[in-house]
Amino acid sequence: MSIVLGPNRYGKAETRVVRVDRDGARHRIKDCNVGVSLSGDLHRTHLSGDNRDVLPTDTQKNTVYAFAAKYGIASAEEFALLLARHFTGATPAIRHARVVVEEYAWDRIPGASGHSFARSGGEVRDATVHCDRDGAAHVVSGIGGLVVMNTTDSEFHGFAGDEYTTLAPTRDRILATEVRARWRHTAVPDRAGWDDSYRKVRSGLLDAFAQTYSFSLQQTLYAMGSRVLADNPEICEVRLTLPNRHHFAVDLSPFRLDNDNRVFHAADRPYGLIEGSVLRDDAPDAGPAWE
């Protein structure tokens, strides 16, 4: 029996960088968390401790800060592409770079000066870029922490049952979830309207959730993914993770009160977890895009 080195990568995780653009009286904030992972011909460092092929993770951190200063942060996608393309040429041994950028939104405080902001809720934008030395790149954009609710127009019945089934069918329920969505772009243009694309996808997800009369969260997932693909020809696949944030009507009969579907207990666990991918039938091969 022989022992060999398998797939491996290394990098710098969670480099927090904040860029403030001070052009004029109205400042602009980009607040990001950057993760870098590099892979390639790195057998020497693993097998013998020879580090000649290793670009230190501290250098990777410094590069994030230097690029934020030199080029700014136009969007999560563009910044990730800049870094990934740089790192694939950093040393001869590096063949592939994976860069993940999470972007945290700040809103201007109404009526305040142009330099006063409040951090937006729990919603987080992100981008994952894979880049090879030959220049091939894959871009996946995403959003997480987007909490949504429909207080009606949702049913759940006709499901399978066995001796352990206690759930009662319902013709009117609250449907709530925390959307985690990621979408794959078919190509990486030289100049891309990443912000416009992100806003359009987010709007499509919300519209589909609000406009779908739901018989299951699975049905809603497909409607949301389909809307994104229908409205955005440059996107070929959408992956959605939708935890079911259950809301159970409280039994008020011990207090001799009626509960006409008005008072609920919001349960945090356990919860149903619905996951799925919606894609075009001619979508190109994803390669490493989702890793």
**Catalytic residue IDs:** 12, 57, 246
Q: Distance (Å, rounded) from C-alpha 121 to C-alpha 109?
A: 14
3 state DSSP class of 158: coil
Residue 235 is inside which H or E element, if any?
strand 235-243
Q: Distance (Å, rounded) from C-alpha 88 to C-alpha 217?
A: 41
3 state DSSP class of 64: helix
Complete DSSP assignment for 128-144: EEEEETTS-EEEEEEEE
133 residue type, one letter = R
CB 184 within 8 A of CB 138: yes
List the structure tokens of 126.
């992100």
Query: Tokens 């759940």 belong to which residue?
Result: 156
Sorted by sequence, the CB contacts under 8 Å of residue 229 that are 6+ apart come out as 235, 236, 238, 278, 279, 280
By C-alpha distance, which of 85, 77, 170 is closest to 126? 77
CB 142 within 8 A of CB 128: yes
